[in-house]
Amino acid sequence: MPTHSRHSPPPHGADLSIRGVGHRYGRGREPALLDIDLEVAPGDVVALVGRSGSGKSTLLHILAGLIRPSAGAVFVGGERVSGPSPSRVVMFQEPSLLPWMSVAQNVGLGLAFAGRGAEARARVADLLSLVALENLADRNVQDLSGGQQQRVALARSLAVEPALLMLDEPFSALDAFTRAALQRDVRAIARRLGTTLVLVTHDIAEAALMADRAIVLASGPGRIAADLALDLPEARALGDPAVAAAIARIRRSFEAVAAGERAAPLPAPVPRPLAGLARAH
């Protein structure tokens, strides 16, 4: 199991253990996931990288307890995942904020639902400072830019102090400058808090900029093709030679997987009875 680097804060996140997980949507259909085994140390940042159809989002939903796997099990902090929990939070591409509420009210929603409304005022103030929105607490969320709305969603996700935070391509709809700022800040915040972070992305550069490990998934069915440790400094930028080398390494693995999928033989067709033929008696 990977260990934390000497630059890491003491982890407050949970360890993640994925054991033999597979999933199939309906009988007779090809598995979406097959034999996924993965161990993640507390406080680590892991990126799931793969083409569409490789099961990245399915796996994330299983980790969150939104889908029960057809096979295997997931453990977070030693407890088996059997359903949703405030200790496991997902941030999606859309921030899904309540448009009639202020920034502070949206951030405090999770605390209210968790029965922790009494601590909301002080906690929300700290979170808004953490995501650099302290001056916008009373602003209606409809008045914010897309990047600012994602920062509100991030603060809301962190409000309940999850042991595991999952990101399902939350920056893909943002412009390049806003996306780069959030990639940097989300990693920095997760490291500061010691939160275990799992990121789903199509973007190889994003994986190198944010993650400690890149898990490359093959498709048909979704399975782990490569587990790449990224030994990079905390301060990362696209122009850094070490980051460029990591991007090239992930890309080589990604392209090798894609080439293997293209070379794989197609499954044999299943014979079907001809329409209109009467049954023999």
Split at pLDDT 50, 70, 90, the class of 278 is: very low
Residue 89 burial (CB < 10 Å; 0-12/13-18/19+)? buried
Give the pLDDT mean for 267-274: 46
- What is the structure's pLDDT at 10? 43
- What is the structure's pLDDT at 179? 86
Give the pLDDT mean for 68-91: 94
DSSP codes joined into one string, 165-194: EEEESTTTTS-HHHHHHHHHHHHHHHHHHT
Split at pLDDT 50, 70, 90, the class of 265 is: low
Instruction: Report the mean per-residue pLDDT for the chain.
Output: 86
